[in-house]
Amino acid sequence: MQDPQTILFAFSLTLMAGLSTGIGGLLVFFTKKADVRILSVMLGFSAGVMIYVSLVEIFAEAQALLTSVYGGKTGILYTALAFFGGMLLIAIIDKLIPCEENPHEFACAVGVNPKDASKLKRTGLLTALVIAIHNLPEGIATFVTATQSISLAIPIAFAIAIHNIPEGISVAMPIYYATGSRKMALRYSMLSGLAEPVGALIAYLILMPFMSDTLFGILFAGVAGIMVFISLDELLPSAQTYGEHHLSMYGLVAGMAVMAISLWLFA
Region 125-146: mean pLDDT is 77
Percentage of residues of the chain with pLDDT beyond 70: 84
DSSP 149: -
End-to-end CA distance of the chain: 31
Which helix (H) or strand (E) element contains residue 125? Answer: helix 114-148
The pLDDT score that the predictor gives to residue 71 is 93
pLDDT category at 64 given cuts 50, 70, 90 is very high
**Reported pTM:** 0.66
Q: What are phi and psi of 244, to 5 degrees?
A: -65, 150
| Helix-strand-coil split of the chain, %, nearest 5 | 85, 0, 15
The pLDDT score that the predictor gives to residue 244 is 72
Torsion sign across C-alpha atoms 141, 45, 26, 117: negative
More confident of the two residues 84 and 165: 84
The answer, yes or no, to whether residue 107 has pLDDT greater than 60, is no
How far apart CA 263 and CA 247 sit, in angstroms, is 24
The pLDDT score that the predictor gives to residue 117 is 63
Percentage of residues of the chain with pLDDT beyond 90: 16
The answer, yes or no, to whether residue 195 has pLDDT greater than 80, is yes
> What pLDDT, in 10s, does the model give residues 196-233?
899 889 888 887 777 788 988 888 888 888 888 888 88
Closest C-alpha among 205, 231, 208 to residue 53: 231
The answer, yes or no, to whether residue 111 has pLDDT greater than 50, is no
Cα-Cα-Cα-Cα torsion 106, 111, 114, 120, nearest 10 degrees, comes to -80
